[in-house]
Amino acid sequence: MVERHLAKVDVVSSNLIARSIFYPIACVISVHKHFLFSTFSFFIESMYEWSKLSGVKWMDAWEDRFRGNPNFVIEILKGGKSSRVRVFCGTEKEAAAIVEQFGGSVRKIQRAEWANPVVKDQPLLKIRDVFGVTTEADPKKLKKLAAENPAREILSIPAEMAFGTGDHATTSTCLRLLVDIGRSRPAGWSVADLGTGTGLLVIAAKKVGAGEAYACDFDPYSVKATADNLVRNGVEGVKLEEKDVLKWKPRKKYDVVVANLFSTILIQAFPVIAQLVKPGGEVVISGILASQAWDVFTAAAQHGFGFPTVIRKGKWVTARGGWMNDLVEKGEV
Ligand SMILES: C[S@@+](CC[C@H](N)C(=O)[O-])C[C@H]1O[C@@H](n2cnc3c(N)ncnc32)[C@H](O)[C@@H]1O
Q: What 3 state SS string does 146-183 have?
A: HHHCCCCEEEECCCCCCCCCCCCHHHHHHHHHHHHHHH
CA distance 52 to 63: 13
CATH class of 161-329: alpha beta
pLDDT value at residue 261: 94
Dump pLDDT digits (tens) for 128-177. 999 999 989 999 999 999 999 999 999 999 866 567 777 788 999 999 99
Structure letter (DSSP) for residue 17: B
Helix axes 25-40, 220-232, angle to 10 degrees: 80
pLDDT value at residue 68: 76
How many A from CA of 262 to the centre of ligand 1? Answer: 8
Give backbone dihedrals phi and psi of 126, rounded to 5 degrees, phi first: -95, 125
Identify the residue whose C-alpha is closest to ligand 1 atom 24: 195
Atom of ligand 1 at shortest range from CA of 244:
20
Q: What is the mean pLDDT of residues 52-66?
A: 77
Confidence grade of residue 77 (pLDDT, cut at 50, 70, 90): confident
How many A from CA of 219 to the centre of ligand 1? Answer: 8
User: What CATH architecture does domain 2-113 belong to?
Assistant: 2-Layer Sandwich (3.30)
Pocket of ligand 1 (CB under 6 A): 94, 162-164, 170-171, 174, 195-197, 200-201, 216-219, 222, 244-246, 260-261, 265, 287
Paired sense of beta strands 210-217 and 189-194, if any:
parallel
CA distance 186 to 204: 16
Beta bridge mates, 75: 11, 84
In contact, 277 and 257? CB cutoff 8 Å: yes
Please measure the distance between the N-terminal and C-terminal CA atoms of the chain and give it in whole angstroms. Answer: 56
Helix (H) or strand (E) holding 98: helix 92-102
pLDDT value at residue 36: 35
What SS3 state is found at 305? strand
CA distance 324 to 333: 8
By mean pLDDT, which of 3-17, 108-122, 286-300 is the weakest? 3-17
Helix axes 263-276, 92-102, angle to 10 degrees: 110
Confidence grade of residue 63 (pLDDT, cut at 50, 70, 90): confident
Q: Percentage of the chain with pLDDT > 90?
A: 57
pLDDT value at residue 21: 27
Question: In which residue ranges of the chain is CATH 3.40.50.150 found?
Answer: 161-329
Dump pLDDT digits (tens) for 250-299. 999 999 999 999 899 999 999 999 999 999 999 999 999 999 999 999 99
In contact, 77 and 40? CB cutoff 8 Å: no
Question: In which residue ranges of the chain is CATH 3.30.70 found?
Answer: 2-113
The order of strands in the sheet holding 210-217 is 238-242, 210-217, 189-194, 254-260, 277-289, 316-323, 305-313
Confidence grade of residue 10 (pLDDT, cut at 50, 70, 90): very low
pLDDT value at residue 162: 60
Confidence grade of residue 112 (pLDDT, cut at 50, 70, 90): low
In contact, 110 and 32? CB cutoff 8 Å: no
Task: Give CA separation, 293 vs 171, 264, 282, 290, in Å.
Answer: 17, 10, 19, 5
Provide the mean pLDDT of the chain: 82
Q: What is the mean pLDDT of residues 220-235?
A: 94
Residue 246: closest CA among 221, 264, 272: 272
Q: Is residue 333 over pLDDT 90?
A: no
Dump pLDDT digits (tens) for 179-220. 999 999 999 999 999 999 999 999 999 999 999 999 999 988
